[in-house]
Amino acid sequence: MVSIKDIASAAGVSISTVSYALNGSDRITKETADRIQSIANELGYVPNRAARLLKKRETMLVGVFLTDFSGHFYGDLLFGLKEELNRRDYDLIVCSGRRSHRMIPERAFDGAIILDATFADEELIGYADRGHKLVVLDRELDHPNVNQVLLDNKAGATLAVEYLLGQGLSRICAVGGPESAFDAQQRMRAVRQAVERVPEASLEELPGAFDKASGYAAGPRIAEAAGEGPAGVFCLNDEMAIGLCDYLRTQTALQIGKDVHVVGYDNIELAQYMQPRLATIDYSKRKWGALAAEQLLKMLEGRPVEQERIYVRLVEGESVGKAY
Amino acid sequence: MVSIKDIASAAGVSISTVSYALNGSDRITKETADRIQSIANELGYVPNRAARLLKKRETMLVGVFLTDFSGHFYGDLLFGLKEELNRRDYDLIVCSGRRSHRMIPERAFDGAIILDATFADEELIGYADRGHKLVVLDRELDHPNVNQVLLDNKAGATLAVEYLLGQGLSRICAVGGPESAFDAQQRMRAVRQAVERVPEASLEELPGAFDKASGYAAGPRIAEAAGEGPAGVFCLNDEMAIGLCDYLRTQTALQIGKDVHVVGYDNIELAQYMQPRLATIDYSKRKWGALAAEQLLKMLEGRPVEQERIYVRLVEGESVGKAY
DNA sequence: TTGTATGCGTTATCAA
DNA sequence: TTGATAACGCATACAA
């Protein structure tokens, strides 16, 4: 490994001169700086990030924590994040899994973005207390070192339910998310409110876990309910909606968009390839990422941060039809 | 920030005692070790990774480099990687983009896994020359510090083409990948061989870039060709096959699986939701990840590594039918 | 069993 | 404009 010490002796100068030259300080003559630079290149010098970090306490790195890597969802979000961070000379790295949590207190990066249910609120507060800057995308936390960029879950869930109701479907089923999931809680609350506002509407809540399997598992009960007349089903995310459709298609003779009407949430890519096309709630994942990055950068630079929210819109699809 | 120095003074011992105690050396009495440990906990001590790294030159971190984060593909692969690495106390971090390449020479991790076209071969050889351990998944590199886990592209492409030929389709179109992509080159070569083996078969090669847009762009030429009788199209990956199907469905009256027969490669999740179901080449992405992790770990531990290959199988689908 | 002292590669303070 | 030197936090050879 070649260090500045090697460069220094090769150039016949002191290590501090090398350090200054390499970091572009104007205390050094252009000639010596150039000479040192070219010697560094020649020797294939690469700064030691550990040493620098030990001294400067700055990684220029941002960590993003995801619950898992199961695709679909995260591509655009990460793209939005990376783009914004790179613009400001920060690099992005993605982590997942409990083991990796420790990188936050170990100061592996200057800040972190959390979209990861495996973090408990208290854990995050603990990091924030120690001075680590956090942006959370999946919960609300009141702390000077934490900011959030949240989906407008209330608007989205309301749109979804009102879409069903507007089609004349008054028997609403909602397939929920994990107990602990903030997004699921918010959406379900909005569902209840929206249904309550309509006297003749009824609501049945089914458990779910935001994955295909739990959508599939909700199938039997929903098929049963559909026996008593057309039902409008709001799955709190697309993944479950797709699982449910899989069930209905393979295990029953019920027609989606006719006997059972299904709306999802997230507008994942798969949704548009479903037959019939899945009605869902859409929002810009890329913008979500970009905004999160921006918030974190502001915190890192000590600039004031204003609360942001990601707006949503309804995407209609043939998975929902008119009730007769 | 609380360091071992703080613990030492709080415990009334020297820093080396603290270091030994915290690292579980048996040179320390169990009592003092316990006492120090509890003081450390009390103070909320977290080891400084930079300092430790500077000394030990070991991050216990493996970096995975991807061309982009666009989902679908990588979920299972990363899962396989992470599972295997965690088992051996290594952590996984995911990087993407040119900027992040420098983390390799900067020794941000103990080894790296590359599935990223933005690395040039020479660049990787350069890192390997400097002693960095690499496992590459998208090329072949002959270097003591590099190992590869490759798909059996030849078998896969041959399976795909012979599937089409076996259905009586003798007019084969192949939609290629980026010039520089190793997988694309291997697959296309196998396609040519498979077609040449059958005297009455013909092959037309169309350019592609492994994305939906380029599959879509190949649509017009394929529709034209289909005018002269049923054609068998092998898209060198699923992404392009889906793009092509989008074109055929929305821009032509041609029937997929009847007028045009389509096979993809990768068996991404979307493939099974296509209507008709996309025929494709499947392989275990999870195993691919696990094997790559294992190879890297072996290199890190200086154990001998044997070459591995990921086997593939054909998944039939209604996107291919019989020719008449 | 514990303490002292040194060095890992940088940056930064001060003096020259 | 440059150089000597002291940190940064930790691990460890050696001394006690």
Statement: residue A59 has pLDDT above 90: yes
Q: How many residues are listed for chain A in this entry? A: 324
Mean local confidence (pLDDT), A189-198? 97
Give burial (CB, 10 Å; 0-12/13-18/19+) of A41: exposed
Q: Which residues of B touch A79 (CB under 8 A)?
A: 68-70
Give the span between the Cα atoms of B231 and B262, in whole angstroms.
9
B50 closest CB neighbour out of A53, A100, A273: A53
- Judge whether B105 and B145 are in contact, CB under 8 Å: no
Nearest partner of A178 among A225, A236, A231, judged by Cα: A236
Output the pTM of the full model: 0.94
Q: Which residues of B touch A273 (CB under 8 A)?
A: 242, 270, 273-274
Instruction: Give the nucleotide at minimum CA-to-C1' distance from B54.
Output: C8
Q: Which residue of A has its CA nearest to B276?
A: A275
The alpha carbon of residue B82 is apart from the nearest alpha carbon of chain A, in Å, by 9
Mean local confidence (pLDDT), A274-293? 96
Instruction: Give the nucleotide at minimum CA-to-C1' distance from B27.
Output: C1
- Judge whether A206 and A221 are in contact, CB under 8 Å: yes
Give the span between the Cα atoms of B293 and B135, in whole angstroms.
8
Q: Do B107 and A48 touch (CB under 8 A)?
A: yes
Q: Which residues of B touch A47 (CB under 8 A)?
A: 106
Query: Per-residue confidence at B1, pLDDT binned at 50, 70, 90?
Result: confident
Nearest partner of B45 among B13, B4, B8, judged by Cα: B4
Give the C-alpha distances (Å, rounded to integers) separating A177 from A72, A156, A222, B213, B247.
Answer: 18, 15, 16, 34, 36
Mean local confidence (pLDDT), B230-240? 96
Give the C-alpha distances (Å, rounded to integers) separating A212 from A175, A215, A240, B303.
Answer: 12, 5, 5, 41
Residue A229, H or E segment: none
The alpha carbon of residue B1 is apart from the nearest alpha carbon of chain A, in Å, by 8
What is the per-residue pLDDT for B108? 93
Q: Is B73 on the interface with A (CB under 8 A)?
A: yes
Q: Which residue of A has its CA nearest to B48?
A: A106
Question: Which residues lie below 8 Å from residue A277, measured CB to CB, with a gap of 6+?
Answer: A271, A317, A318, A319
Residue whose CA is minimally distant from D5 C1': A16
What are B272-297's pLDDT values in tens digits?
999 899 999 999 999 999 999 999 99
User: What percent of chain A is modeled with pLDDT above 90?
Assistant: 89
- Judge whether A147 and A113 are in contact, CB under 8 Å: no
Question: Distance in angstroms, CA of A218 to C1' of C11?
Answer: 60
Nearest partner of B268 among B75, B68, B64, B79, judged by Cα: B75
∠A101-A131-B109 over CA atoms, to 5°?
40
Give the span between the Cα atoms of B113 and B127, in whole angstroms.
12
What are A204-249's pLDDT values in tens digits?
999 999 999 999 999 999 999 988 888 999 999 999 999 999 999 9
Question: Distance in angstroms, CA of A9 to C1' of C4?
Answer: 31
Structure tokens at A260: 């059972």
Residue whose CA is minimally distant from C5 C1': B16
Please name the amino acid found at residue B298. Answer: K
For each of the domains in chain B, give its residue range(s) and CATH number, in order of start: 4-47 (no CATH), 61-151+285-311 (3.40.50.2300), 153-283 (3.40.50.2300)
Q: Which residues of A touch B82 (CB under 8 A)?
A: 69, 96-97
What is the per-residue pLDDT for B75? 86
Mean local confidence (pLDDT), A49-70? 92
Give the C-alpha distances (Å, rounded to integers) separating B107 from A7, A50, A87, A104.
Answer: 19, 8, 23, 19
3-state DSSP of B168-233: CCCEEEEECCCCCCHHHHHHHHHHHHHHHCCCCCEEEEECCCCCHHHHHHCHHHHHHHHCCCCEEE
What are B181-202's pLDDT values in tens digits?
999 999 999 999 999 999 999 9
End-to-end CA distance of chain A: 76
User: What percent of chain B is modeled with pLDDT above 90?
Assistant: 90
Give the span between the Cα atoms of A9 and A179, in whole angstroms.
63
What are B63-98's pLDDT values in tens digits?
999 998 876 668 899 999 999 999 999 999 999 999
Phi, psi of B234 (to 5 degrees): -105, 110
Q: Do A47 and B74 touch (CB under 8 A)?
A: no
